[in-house]
Structure 1
Amino acid sequence: MLQQIYPSVAHDFSYELNKDMHFASAHFVPHESAGACQNMHGHTYFANVTIAGDELDETGFLVNFQSLKKLVAKEFDHTLLNDHEAFDDRDPNFFPTTEVVARTIYERIQKHLDTLENKPVCLQVFLRETPTSYVVYRPKRGKKSES
């Protein structure tokens, strides 16, 4: 994977971890205003997640890179995103758009991080859908995820 520069998040944590991943998925956006995106099509998504914290776990990790890969790439790779429980073709807040996929990745990761004793936090998810289009999802500070 090519090294890329991602938007950074200002924070006061001691450690910051970034993990790059990619996955190939198909999707469609179930709304007439989506134009050609109403038709099923695929992308090779490139994701970067930024996680920060002050404490390392018992293995000396902020978080294990493999657990992040399982939560994202292994979950979504070679699937139809519309078939996942996290997405709903009846509610635009849950259509599998790049914005919603980025938010869903954040929610999956943060839910896992909340179970860890060292309590790292996911600061942002950068999700590239095409070479020219990407989304950055950052939760509002002080606001917990709805998941």
Structure 2
Amino acid sequence: MRYEITKRFKFEAGHRVWKQNLSSGKGAKLMADEIPPNPCINIHGHSYKVEVTVGSDKLNEQEMVIDFYHIKSALKDLIDNQLDHSFIIDKNDPLFPKFKENFGFLKLTVVDFCPTAEALAKYIYDFLEDKLREAGLLDEIKVVSVTIWETETGKAVYKGK
């Protein structure tokens, strides 16, 4: 892409990384002999920061890739109405049935993946790509990447295909 723009968003949400197991998988080889706890299995929350980058090889008639307002508008429902101040839970999480039964009065965002920062970045990427496709803009404007800052020191980036 010759031209790229980035729009930032923020939202507050809780989640649980129910698949976390620090003592197995690729990363376990980096640890000492001690077996640490798996803190992200617990229910917790973040002040997420999201950076969405879109690009095009040519500018539109207003000499823009697309107006920042249009990117904000495309993501408003997802970020402001669904994700913000919700609990993001995987419908495959073993706790989901009990959580839904006992805490169904809470604002839940039910997804079909373990809500890690990486998976949430892809989720937002796919959502925006679908919006651009529905508007007939996907030939002109591409989603370049979605970056999710889960903490001040930890981010995940999804760049797509």
Q: Which TM-score band applies after superposition, normalised by the shorter structure?
A: 0.7 to 0.9
- How far, CA to CA, are the matches of 1:137 and 1:118 in structure 2? 20
Counterpart amino acid of residue 113 in structure 1: L
* 2:160 corresponds to which of 127, 136, 139: 139
Partner of 1:42: 45
User: 2:122 corresponds to which letter in structure 1?
Assistant: R
Whether the 8 Å CA contact 1:71–1:109 is kept in 2: the answer is no
How many pairs were matched up? Answer: 121
- C-alpha offsets along residues 70-89 of structure 1, whole Å, 9 cap, x if unaligned? 1542131000111434x23x
Cα RMSD of the aligned pairs, angstroms, is 2.3
TM-score of the superposition, structure 1-length normalised? 0.72
Q: Which runs of 5 or more structure 1 residues have no equivalent in the other structure?
A: 1-10, 89-93, 141-147
* Structure 1 position 56, deviation (Å): 3.1
The reply to whether residue 77 of structure 1 matches residue 84 of structure 2 is: yes
Match of 1:33 among 21, 26, 29: 21
Give distance in 1, aligned partners of 2:129 and 2:71.
Answer: 14
Q: Following TM superposition, where does structure 1 have runs of at least 4 consecutive aligned residues deviating by more than 4 angstroms? A: none
Give SS of 2:134's match.
Answer: coil
CA distance in 2, matches of 1:61, 1:16: 7
3-state SS of the aligned residue for 1:44? strand
Q: Percent identity?
A: 28
SS at match of 1:33: coil
Match of 1:3 in 2: none
| 1:51 aligned onto 2:65 | no
What's the TM-score, normalizing by structure 2?
0.66
Structure having the higher Rg: 2
Distance 1:130 1:37 in 2: 13
Structure 1 residue 57: Cα displacement: 7.7
Write the deviation string for residues 65-106 of structure 1: whole angstroms up to 9, x where unpaired.
Answer: 332441542131000111434x23xxxxx1000010000010
Partner residue in 2 for 1:5? none
Q: What are structure 2's unaligned runs of at least 5 residues?
A: 23-37, 90-107
